[in-house]
Amino acid sequence: MDLTHLPIANAHRAALRSIERVVGETAPAQDPAAARRGIAAMLADGPVLLLSGAGVSTDSGIPDYRGPNGSLRRHRPMTYQEFRHDPTARHRYWARSFVGWRHMADTAPNAAHHAVAEMERRGWLSGVVTQNVDGLHVRGGSRAVVPLHGDLGRVVCLNCGHVEARPGLDTRLAAANPGFVERVELDPASVNPDGDVTLAQEHVEAFSMVGCLNCGSVELKPDVVYFGENVPPERKRLVSELEDKSTGLLVVGSSLAVMSGYRMVLNAERAGKPVGIINAGPTRGDSRAAWRWRARVAPALGELLGAR
């Protein structure tokens, strides 16, 4: 990566600060029963907009970033600037992702995803905005879903803009790398939220990348928003529309460390709408939330469904 180019270097450093952000306690603990009742009342007065984070997908075998066993404890995700401007880093990502995709493709929605879908069916939600890139909310039955940070199931060419479904790319990569996956011992617990896994350098060097179906460029990128990359304007517009028709915001399974999610809390506060949070640990938005329920996501959502 050309760190001598000041705008690229500055954006990369800003992305690293976002990755390294530590979320600590910013508000006093709240009685769980009172928080549960408050969130239930929010849903009764809905429809509420639900923002989901990595904590929703951990029971599907996908690690979160900042939890006690989060992937940041063993792995720093690549920034957009590294991916876009460093061919070696990009090649390393695709070698790692080719192996990690096996695990991501085999994941299934868990009880939390199904609970969110049921909340939508009951009319409690205006929609779901998810920071996750695993596609599990849609597979779990939710309909009005905005994938804020994109979808690992799609690949876009940075040279011409052509979009390809990830399974098709995977088939082409398998043909170009016979026996590659079998030579790698994959520990499912080592797969990162972005679908890649740590590989030995010898495996990275042995990996062969394929090109875009349209222009042949190897500058392919998963259609996800990297640290240091902006959320596309169209998704911002869809989120804004959901915010306008919502009576409040319910954050589920997110530390809100990233600004794209935390901004939704700020928007709700400015609009005078209540914010409820269900998360196992502290979040960046705790001091701005009316209700803070410290709990595991799936059981908490199940309680809300059973109480109404």
Answer yes or no: are the C-beta atoms of 181 and 102 closer than 8 Å.
Answer: yes
Q: Give catalytic residue positions.
A: 149
- Is the bond preceding 47 in cis, omega lying within 30 degrees of 0? yes
Answer yes or no: are the C-beta atoms of 307 and 293 closer than 8 Å.
Answer: no
In DSSP terms, which residues pair with 147 in a beta bridge? 130
In one-letter notation, the amino acid at residue 308 is R
Number of H helices, E strands in the chain: 11, 9
Would strands 150-157 and 163-165 be described as parallel, antiparallel, or unpaired? antiparallel
Would strands 220-224 and 291-294 be described as parallel, antiparallel, or unpaired? unpaired
In DSSP terms, which residues pair with 155 in a beta bridge? 164, 222
Rg (CA), the chain: 20
Place of tokens 């809300």: 304
Would strands 220-224 and 150-157 be described as parallel, antiparallel, or unpaired? antiparallel
